[in-house]
Amino acid sequence: MPEIFFQEMCNTFAQLRDELTTSHCEQCFYFAGYPVKMEIIGDNLAKQIVRPFSHLQCQHVLTECELKVCLWDEQQTDLYSTEKTFDLGKRWEAHEGIFSSSTDGRYIGFWYRHSLTILDRREQKIVGYRKKQQPLSRYEMSKPFFVLLSVWYHDRSIQFLHAGLVAYNGRGVLFPGKGSSGKSTSVLVCVGEGFQCLGDDFIGLQITENEFTGYSIFNSACVAEHHLQNFPAFAPYATKAALPVEDKSTIFLSEITTCEMLSKVPICAIAMPKIVDAEKSTIKRASPTQTLLRLAPSTMFFIIPRPDKQALDRMTTLVKGVPAYWLEIGRDLQNIAHKVRDILCEEVS
């Protein structure tokens, strides 16, 4: 029974917390304005897990929270699951791991390599562990709880989008697109030219009375090793992937003094990166249909569980309510930031 397994994990965490007080870390954050408390057992694990959320951290201890996360570095307990044994009732293969849920949808879990996390949607609690002495994958290091958080945000009418987001003078520009489309390049170039950043790969979208608010979720950017040469100012901050099969490094943008991270911004325009054979970058208006075809498939593919009709409706409302452009990226990468400013200027004039 999923509720029994979940409670066993909670009990194990409580026991370890009482026994290992010296390695118990507690920190508080605001996710899209909602208070979140994390308790992590294991000093090294705690340092790694909180890094992508550090820009959302609050400086005081929260007495009440909307979500509680309890995580430990697995040691000598017998709860460790394998790909074959993990099953909450229904299960699917997803992102090289196993996604599983109880039949009533209350419990959502994700098994990946040497880790397991489960969300109780009723109690608003995530509990999980990482196998001791096993390195975190790039996804675990750069986007912890990615699968479970997409469900948690969805329950609050905030849609995960596979897109980058930057801001200039309080106005946000969204960069949707699949991998290798120029999305991360556009974000990093803009950040290097004085834009504020909200995310490189995934952000949250909230729509209220035709107002479009983008929320920062992670402060991490993942860049292929060979591509780091294009960003010499960021290269010293890159953390190389721990696993041999991974070819990207992670940059935690909030740790760069020249980079300002924002927690939210109104989305005022959409720029769809497209790499072309040209010297300079150019911008062209795009239709809502073209924009939806770029935004929706990528988001629908990466988000687990798959977004429903409500998610598609939200994206449709966004592309109809926000002007969109093709951002054709030429060889002169620094020109990208100028074109993004031009987009914002067009919307001001």
The span from the CA of 121 to the CA of 124, in Å, is: 5
Per-residue pLDDT of 193-246, as tens digits, reads: 999 999 998 999 999 987 999 999 999 998 887 788 888 888 889 887 665 556
The span from the CA of 206 to the CA of 311, in Å, is: 11
* Backbone Cα Rg of the chain: 20
- pLDDT of residue 185 exceeding 60, the answer is yes
The pair of three-digit structure tokens given for residue 27, joined into one six-digit string: 């920190």
Per-residue pLDDT of 233-254, as tens digits, reads: 888 898 876 655 567 889 999 9
pLDDT on residue 242: 61
The span from the CA of 173 to the CA of 199, in Å, is: 11
Residue 256's SS3 state is: coil
pLDDT on residue 349: 46
Tell me where in the chain the CATH 3.40.50 domain(s) lie: 159-348
The pair of three-digit structure tokens given for residue 243, joined into one six-digit string: 């696993």
- In angstroms, how far is the first alpha carbon of the chain from the final one? 60
82 — pLDDT class (breaks 50, 70, 90): low
CATH code, 159-348: 3.40.50
- pLDDT of residue 112 exceeding 90, the answer is no
Q: What pTM value is reported for the model?
A: 0.93
- pLDDT of residue 9 exceeding 70, the answer is yes
